[in-house]
Amino acid sequence: MKFAVFLYPGVEPIDLATFGVLSMARRIAPQIQLLTVAPEPGPVVLSNGLTVLAQYGVGDCPPADALIITGGPGWPAQTANTVTLDFIRARAKDSVVMSVCTGGMILAATGLLDGRHATTKREVVSPEEQPLALMHNRYTKVRAVEAPLVGRLRNRAHPRIHDRPQR
């Protein structure tokens, strides 16, 4: 299985843990493949100055089974970046798309979460606005909920929260 981790300027470095967890998983499932993608290939400056290299840009990213949208203070710019939003929408046709933390805000901006339950970061430090409240107010077709995990499968921690499109 191939995973693409989406990066952009301002990603919170802790969200790279998705790459780290999958890297560790390769020890027992060596068929796992990992790649990084950003709006443009090359150096990406994360929150607080850490620079990482995106192997691919959205224009040359190979197919992947799953696309992980990371979060961080750079998310607002990505919600307005049509290149990013179009890339995610296109990938959703052939890949599982998921998000971490405020990556949910980017995913909400694509419209892919319309009619579905979704969550994002809720705890903030002043003067930051609470992303969960912003998701609820900006993306009114998304069923924004406070939950540790929301997905297609029933959430064991919150059995009433599961992802079913509204009809």
| Closest C-alpha among 151, 149, 141, 145 to residue 132 | 145
Please write down the HEC assignment for all residues of 89-117: HHHHCCCEEEECCCHHHHHHHHCCCCCCE
Task: List the beta bridge partners of residue 42.
Answer: 54
126 burial type by CB count under 10 A (0-12 exposed, 13-18 middle, 19+ buried): exposed
Is 101 catalytic? The answer is yes
Distance of CA 95 to the CA centre of its chain: 13
Catalytic residue among 101, 105, 106, 142: 101
CA angle 132, 90, 2 (to 5 degrees): 90
- Enumerate the active-site residues: 101
